[in-house]
Chains A and B, each alone.
Chain A
Amino acid sequence: MMILKILFRNAFHNKLRSSLTILGIAVAILAFGLLRTVINSWYSGVEAASTSRLVTRNAISIIFPLPISYKEKIRQIEGVKIVSYGNWFGGVYIDEKNFFANFCVDTKTYFELYPEFVLDSLQKKTFLADRKGFVAGRKLAAKYGWKIGDTVTLKGTIYLGNWDFVLRGIYHGRDETVDESQFFFHWDYLNETLKKTAPSWADKVGFYMVGVVRPDVAPDTAIAIDKAFKNSLAETLTETEKAFNQGFIAMSGAIVNAIQMVSFVVIIIIMAVVANTMAMTTRERTGDYSIMKTLGFGGKEITILIFGESLVITLTGCAIGMILTFPAAKVFGSSLANFFPTFLVSTETLYYDVLAAILIAFLAAIIPTRHAIRIRIADGLRRIG
């Protein structure tokens, strides 16, 4: 009990130094937490992917389309439950800086295949009935102040020209990990317009989304789909939604790796800060530890004192950093909503924070403890004078 009393009082004895160290740790944990959240957000599409959905695209590249006629063929393959399709539209709102994900989809099947996008039944009915209607995510609608019935014009960057849409529904996510910043409209609207303006682009889809009866049949179904279109003009590549999303992440793998590296560098920096503080503290308390040894206390008590002090300082900084991560992530997430539609601090990140803090505390205390235990009492006492 007395040892704990000394430990806690030691930790906050030099208030300025302890406060500055704690502040440094808090800022570093905050930075570490935000960087981990960036990485998690990057992978959020992969994590949220369903195991019972497949994505079929052109085997050469995603930028090459597939004929709409494949839909019926895919539907007849064993294991397939539902087939939907869509195109990446690539439109911008007013100008390029207002970028968000926008797709034209087969609206009749899409929301059935993606139950995580929750749409009010009345709004869904109105949306299905209006060929120029669109559905926006809650966050996207809130960002631009769109209300049901508003007309929104997107400027096409692939399908050139101005495209007018009427907001017929606002979906929300089934849970907080669902992206609420997407824009969906009728594939038929795009296709009918293309038939008039660019007939060679009509009746083509960018990808098929295939729902399978059970997750365990997904691999065989994917093989069967690709086999069905072998040696056709547009061969297909079918993979699980997770693998498909991972393919996109892989394109930016270097950036993710760089962020990961920076997050580890942050940890090393905190370690240096805490190690420096612990070294100064131990040197300053050499006399105290020598007195305790003189009185009969052993290495165990000295170890508890130094490791404990290091832990108290580090965990206090860690707790403050963790608390600050939430408001910081909110600000960070809202300012970068275009790039990170879901920017949530995960429980895993918090565990990493605590783990990092404990690791830092222990590593920083090893050398000072060894020194304090090894120093001869007579030498330690001499330092006081």
Chain B
Amino acid sequence: MTQQKRTIVEIRNLYKSYHRERLTVPVLYDITFDIAEGEFLALMGPSGSGKTTLLNLIAGIDKADKGSIHVGDVDITTLSETELAHWRANNVGFIFQFYNLIPVLKAIENVELPLHLTSLPTKERHQHAEMALSMVGLAHRMDHYPGEMSGGEQQRVAIARAIVTDPTILVADEPTGDLDRVSAEEILTMMERLNSEMGKTIIMVTHDPRAAQRAKVLRHLDKGYLNNDDSQNPL
């Protein structure tokens, strides 16, 4: 008998469009689906299908026109900008295609950055950051600036930054899009481990089938519509 997993993200009738001057460009239509706790979901689809927009909405960095997104017990579509910022700091870890580390901060300082929004004392913040860097195998590079590291190493620092606050969900937007094949494999393995060993819920946007292969669940977006028939990863 398989144990029923708790739903961590519940999306209902979600619509989103962008406004460019007088033009309205619809991006997402009536999206409804759930993400279970501990799931590793890959969102796939061609360019312009709305997958990054959907990820941004789930992560609380963009606002939907209509519909609801519950993460845990919170409907994030009802939160104000300030409340959303606070919610993101506590609940979401971000991994981006271009790593997005702060170039003037060392690896350890980049990882420590989100902890400055917590009440942790300086020493503990440093210890947490060191631990996160050790988990991604970069403890020896903690005093290096992003510019002194390879793309793969920078992405590992970004992962350490994403997990250091122990967020509810990890969102990754094309995490291997800017990496060579070897580095991409390393990053995907790391994400797989975060999911399987630490139980982290991961939502990843990708159009790389090799990356999608690592996910447990696959969802397709096409022209703003979600294909609800392909929830189990056939890859």
Known contacts A294-B94, A295-B117, A296-B85; A377/B109 CB under 8 A: no
Say if the beta carbon of A378 comes within 8 Å of chain B.
yes
**B113, A5: Cβ atoms closer than 8 Å:** no
Which chain A positions have C-beta within 8 A of B94? 294-295
Residues 280-303 (chain A) with a chain B CB within 8 angstroms: 287-288, 291-298
Partner of A9, one of B82, B85, B89, B104: B104
Main secondary structure of the interface of B (DSSP, over half): helix
Partner of B88, one of A294, A378, A384: A294
Say if the beta carbon of B33 comes within 8 Å of chain A.
no
**B112, A298: Cβ atoms closer than 8 Å:** no
In the complex the two chains form, what is the Cα distance from A376 to B63 in whole Å?
10
**A296, B105: Cβ atoms closer than 8 Å:** no
The proximity string for B residues 130-154 relative to A, scoring 1 for CB distances below 8 Å and 0 otherwise, is 0000000000000000000000000
Residues 364-378 (chain A) with a chain B CB within 8 angstroms: 376-378
Of chain B, the residue at the smallest CB distance from A6 is B104
Say if the beta carbon of A178 comes within 8 Å of chain B.
no
Which chain B positions have C-beta within 8 A of A13? 103-104
Partner of A296, one of B88, B102, B122: B88
Say if the beta carbon of A385 comes within 8 Å of chain B.
yes
Which chain A positions have C-beta within 8 A of B103? 13, 288
Partner of A6, one of B61, B85, B102, B114: B102
The proximity string for B residues 59-100 relative to A, scoring 1 for CB distances below 8 Å and 0 otherwise, is 101100000000000000000001001101110001011101
Say if the beta carbon of A381 comes within 8 Å of chain B.
yes
**A297, B117: Cβ atoms closer than 8 Å:** yes
Residues 130-174 (chain A) with a chain B CB within 8 angstroms: none
In the complex the two chains form, what is the Cα distance from A5 to B106 in whole Å?
11
Which chain B positions have C-beta within 8 A of A295? 88-89, 94, 113-114, 117
Known contacts A2-B112, A5-B109, A295-B94; A378/B61 CB under 8 A: yes
Which chain A positions have C-beta within 8 A of B53? 378
Question: Given A288-B102, A292-B113, A295-B113, 5 other A-B contacts at CB below 8 A?
Answer: A2-B116, A13-B104, A287-B100, A298-B85, A381-B96
Spell out A's residues near B (CB within 8 Å).
1-3, 5-6, 9-10, 13, 287-288, 291-298, 376-378, 381, 384-385
The 5 closest A-B CB pairs, nearest first, are A296-B89, A9-B104, A377-B61, A291-B100, A295-B114
Spell out B's residues near A (CB within 8 Å).
53, 56, 59, 61-62, 82, 85-86, 88-90, 94, 96-98, 100, 102-105, 109, 112-114, 116-117, 122
